[in-house]
Amino acid sequence: MSKKNVIVGQSGGPTAVINSSLYGVVFEAMENTDYIRTCYGMINGIEGFLEGRYLDFAEALPGGNLEFLKSTPGAYLGSCRYKLPDDLSDPVYPRLFEKFEELNIGYFFYIGGNDSMDTVSKLSRYAKQIDSQIRIMGEPKTIDNDLILTDHTPGYGSAARYVAETVREITLDACVYEKKSVTIVEIMGRHAGWLTAASVLARKYVGDNPLLIYLPEVDFDEESFLARVEASFEKNCNVVVCVSEGIHDKTGTFICEYDSSVGTDSFGHKMLAGCGKYLENLVRDRLGVKARSVELNVNQRCSAAMISHTDQQEAVMAGRYGLQVAIKRGITGKMISFVRCSDDPYVVACGLEDVNEVCNQEKTVPLEWITNDGTDISEDFITYATPLIQGTPPIPMGEDGLPAFAYRK
Amino acid sequence: MSKKNVIVGQSGGPTAVINSSLYGVVFEAMENTDYIRTCYGMINGIEGFLEGRYLDFAEALPGGNLEFLKSTPGAYLGSCRYKLPDDLSDPVYPRLFEKFEELNIGYFFYIGGNDSMDTVSKLSRYAKQIDSQIRIMGEPKTIDNDLILTDHTPGYGSAARYVAETVREITLDACVYEKKSVTIVEIMGRHAGWLTAASVLARKYVGDNPLLIYLPEVDFDEESFLARVEASFEKNCNVVVCVSEGIHDKTGTFICEYDSSVGTDSFGHKMLAGCGKYLENLVRDRLGVKARSVELNVNQRCSAAMISHTDQQEAVMAGRYGLQVAIKRGITGKMISFVRCSDDPYVVACGLEDVNEVCNQEKTVPLEWITNDGTDISEDFITYATPLIQGTPPIPMGEDGLPAFAYRK
């Protein structure tokens, strides 16, 4: 059997463990020298690769340096938001496959979310059409946990841990004064509320904050929100409310759009703020209490200190598994999925799903997991999410006292 | 010698290690049973104590539970913002000292910043006036690092580590696309730029982000800021800018006030946003590039995962030292300070400063540490700050996979 080369790319927004998936693919490629000669990385995904930008991992991260990848946030290879044309007769396809040919590529891996699985789908269909033997595989990643046909996605566990741990800390910070206050925490997730739901894990005892949790799966109503906040003061004078950035009213208008029509500053710049800031102002104005908002922002997806060890190990596992089945079983056109075998003890196995079915679909939080008139989250969710946020992996620290990450030269 | 009791309180905004200082005082009080019978804690500071609210640590955190205090964010005892009257003949003073008498208090500790040292100053002057033997001591804390007569303050090291580590991570997150972008990171510090300056520690190599750093010690000018950002694109297409929340123009107007006059939404609520959001909009509008802003917000002062071990150990040391000198040397009216003996190896000793000199004063970043026309930070600062952010203490984790903190019943 003649040896082939591997090429791997990253696409879409980063997560805390997208580089752990990359590590898994590269590590396994380097282990299987009977099948693989060289493992390449596309710089800035398909887009950069089309411009001829790629690297050789043996040169870029020689020896033990590869280990630093595992806990490096961001996308080591750089990312892109590039959609391949729907029309498979577009000249970009032969261009790409010629480049694959030049590099003697036998295995193509793309790590990403919905849009990236669309790329994998198109490339695998084109490969079939031209009878190419290149194995085309998708490695999932997204903090949003919104991919179908998988129990959860790599990246979600770490972001969920960030949300849970940070909300627990914000709650302690918000409760130091004996004076009515409302803290709104705005969490990522435009269409799916998985991350916001994870804020329920912050609760330490019955009646603990966050007292209210709002997901985009349920229509948001300002008046009932205000009434709920007011009622919550009976439980605690400091109320923490977690909201998804994507909450919207019953007409479908996002709450964050409520003031996008106004705020222009003296230079005519339009001021855009999130729904957290909007609700903070609403609470202060209507309830006359101290209000603050905290937007968790990109830290949700790039905090090394809060990587879930489980998430990191699963991301590596998915990367390695994908490479193994591609080289040893000739699998192509599939996305690696997670199949949960058991909650307690938590056991997960890798599966293979048809990318054509995965791409461009979205999995939201089941409505039966959203309780108390859309202001709380059920025990079922807690059972589902708790295993995903477990453990703290070792993070290599540099001489400067900060995490030592992998940098591309 | 008849045994006396200790009472300790917390005041002002919390830090990640304000409870480590509390731990130090309580631990040392419990060790010195020859001098001390009971260690009490005021709930919500002087204000709560005047309402008769306090606890006994032996009951509240029995046995090993005290250990959880060390890494619990927020203020375990609750805090207050209560200013004692300037007039020492105000009836609040005899009321307070009667309560001290009732509890057989011999030692009073107050953990806080400028305003809390003002409380310590007044109480110690009143004690002298009435010839009370109660020892009145101040334990410093503030993430702002703006207390005079001390090398640095407990709380600063952890917040500085949070800033440095988070900005390094945000930089990785911000650089994944090969497309011009500007990320504005807004950091706490209204008058003193110590925390914003710590963002320079995020830089991994020459030319790394953050490429621009703006402190409130220097007047901010929009046009030269825009020119600097534009020029920075020559170094990196993804530019990260760190700004202090307190940056202001040469007339003294805060940049965050530039749009407070406008933004009222459809309900007439005034929209207030920080300077980061303002600059994000300015950059998008004037430079026509992708822009984002991240407000680090309260996480800077309440992240357990990013506690600096050095900071934690020093906070404990200051707490213990204060108690020791009060009981064994009869010291009163002093704030514990840190005296740096050496940078490398880093050696710090505790000192004692007159609270009357400390209170209501402010220490800002020396202008000679601010370089490159007010857009960068010098090596001298790096030498100063690097030792303060070192080390990761063990954080006890609960069965839920999240940090186990100390909760008041």
| For A208, nearest residue in chain B (alpha carbons) | B407
Question: How high is the ipTM of this complex?
Answer: 0.95
Residues of B in contact with A278 (CB under 8 A): 265, 271
Residue B386: CB atoms within 10 Å: 20
Residues 42-61 of A with CB under 8 A from B: 44, 47-48
Q: Write out chain A residues lying below 8 Å of B202, CB-based.
A: 402
Confirm whether B290 is domain-assigned. yes
A397 interaction partners in chain B (CB closer than 8 Å): 392
Q: What is the DSSP string of B184-195?
A: EEEES-SS--HH
Q: Is residue B288 pLDDT above 80, yes or no?
A: yes
Cβ within 8 Å of residue B265, ≥6 positions away = A258, A259, A262, A263, A278, A281, B271
| Spatial distance between the Cα atoms of A126 and A396, rounded to a whole number of angstroms | 42
Nearest to B144 by CA among B354, B323, B361: B361
What DSSP assignment string belongs to B164-184? HHHHHHHHHHHTSSSS-EEEE
Q: Are residues A282 and A353 in the same domain?
A: no
Tokens of B181: 């972008």
pLDDT in tens, chain A (409 residues): 689 999 999 999 999 999 999 999 999 999 999 999 999 999 999 999 999 999 999 999 998 999 999 999 999 999 999 999 999 999 999 999 999 999 999 999 999 999 999 999 999 999 999 999 999 999 999 999 999 999 999 999 999 999 999 999 999 999 999 999 999 999 999 999 999 999 999 999 999 999 999 999 999 999 999 999 999 999 999 999 999 999 999 999 999 888 654 444 444 444 556 899 999 999 999 999 999 999 999 999 999 999 999 999 999 999 999 999 999 999 999 999 999 999 999 999 999 999 999 988 899 999 999 999 999 999 999 999 999 999 999 999 999 999 999 999 7
Q: Do B282 and A269 touch (CB under 8 A)?
A: yes
B186 and B116 together in one domain = no
Instruction: Say yes or no: A286 and A326 in one domain.
Output: no
Residue of B56 and B360 predicted with greater confidence: B56
Residue B368 CA to residue B236 CA, distance in Å, equals: 27
Residue B370 lies in a domain: no
- Report if residue A126 sits inside a domain: yes
Q: B118, B144, B146, B311: which is the annotated catalytic residue?
A: B144
Does one domain contain both B194 and B288?
yes
Which residues numbered 311-370 in B keep a CB inside 8 Å of some CB on A? none
Give the Cα separation of B399 and A385 in Å (integer): 14
Contact indicator for A151, A140 with CB cutoff of 8 Å: no
Going by C-beta distance under 8 Å and a sequence separation of 6 or more, which residues neighbour residue B96?
Answer: B46, B49, B50, B123
Domain of residue A24, residue span: 4-142+304-360
Closest CA to A54 of A9, A97, A96: A9
What value, to the nearest 5°, has the Cα angle with vertex B100 and ends B97 and B103? 155
Q: How far is CA A104 from CA A51, A52, A356, B51, B74, in A?
A: 17, 15, 26, 79, 57
Q: What angle do CA A144, A147, A153 make, to 5 degrees?
A: 65
Contact A165 B402 (CB under 8 A): yes
Please say if A144 is a catalytic residue: yes
Residues B281 and B338 in one domain: no
Among B147, B113, B109, smallest CA distance to B334 is for B109
Domain end call among B329, B358, B387: B358
The residue among B137, B296, B318 whose CA lies nearest residue A173 is B296
Distance from CA of B73 to the nearest CA of A (A): 6
Across the interface, do B386 and A397 touch by the CB < 8 Å criterion?
no
Q: B92 vs chain A: nearest CA distance in angstroms?
A: 20
Q: How much is the pLDDT for A397?
A: 95
Same domain, A317 and A210: no
pLDDT on residue A266: 45
Give the tens place of pLDDT for each residue, B297-313.
999 999 999 999 999 99
Given this model, what pLDDT does residue A409 score? Answer: 79
Do residue B93 and residue B170 come from a single domain? no
A233 and A131 inside one domain: no
For residues B160 and B291, membership in a common domain is answered with yes
- Which residue in chain B is spatially nearest to A395 when comparing CA positions? B392
Find, among B69, B79, B1, the residue nearest to B34 by Cα: B1
Domain count, chain A: 2
CB B149 within 8 A of CB B334: no
Per the CB < 8 Å rule, is B265 touching A264? no
Pairing state of beta strands A334-343 and A135-140?
parallel
Residues 134-193 of A with CB under 8 A from B: 161, 164-166, 168-170, 172-178
- Inter-axis angle of helices A114-129 and A92-102, nearest 10: 80
Are residues B160 and B288 part of one domain?
yes
pLDDT band at B267 (very low <50, low <70, confident <90, very high): very low
Chosen domain end from A256, A275, A302: A302
Query: pLDDT class for B409, splitting at 50, 70, 90?
Result: confident
Q: Which of residues 97-136 of B touch A (CB under 8 A)?
A: none
Q: Is residue B33 part of a domain?
A: yes
- CA-nearest residue of chain B to A78? B176
Q: Is B149 contained in some domain?
A: no
- Answer yes or no: do B386 and A400 touch at CB < 8 A: yes
Is the model's pLDDT at B268 over the cut of 90? Answer: no
Instruction: State whether A402 and B391 contact (CB < 8 Å).
Output: no
For residues B111 and B160, state if they share a domain.
no
What pLDDT, in 10s, does the model give residues B80-121?
999 999 999 999 999 999 999 999 999 999 999 999 999 999
Q: B379 in a domain, yes or no?
A: no
> Is the confidence at residue B263, as pLDDT, over 90?
no
Residue with tokens 């010839």: B131
Q: Mean of the per-residue pLDDT values for chain B?
A: 95
Nearest CB to A173 within list B166, B268, B298: B298
Same domain, A75 and A176: no
Residue A387 lies inside a defined structural domain of this protein:
no
Name the phi and psi angles at B36, rounded to 5. -115, 135
- Residue B342, pLDDT above cutoff 70: yes
Q: B258: pLDDT confidence band, cut at 50, 70 and 90?
A: confident
Whether A324 maps to a domain, the answer reads yes
Which pLDDT value is given to residue B407? 95
CATH number for the domain spanning A264: value is 3.40.50.460
Which of A285, A302, A319 lies at the terminal end of a domain, its last residue?
A: A302
| pLDDT tens digits, B66-79 | 999 999 999 999 99
CATH code for the domain of B341: 3.40.50.450
Q: What is the mean pLDDT of residues B155-184?
A: 97
Interface of A with B in 237-296 (CB under 8 A): 258-259, 261-273, 277-278, 281-282, 284-285, 292, 294-295
CB contact A372 to B (< 8 Å): no
Contacts of residue A298 in chain B, CB cutoff 8 Å?
Answer: 170, 173-174, 292, 294
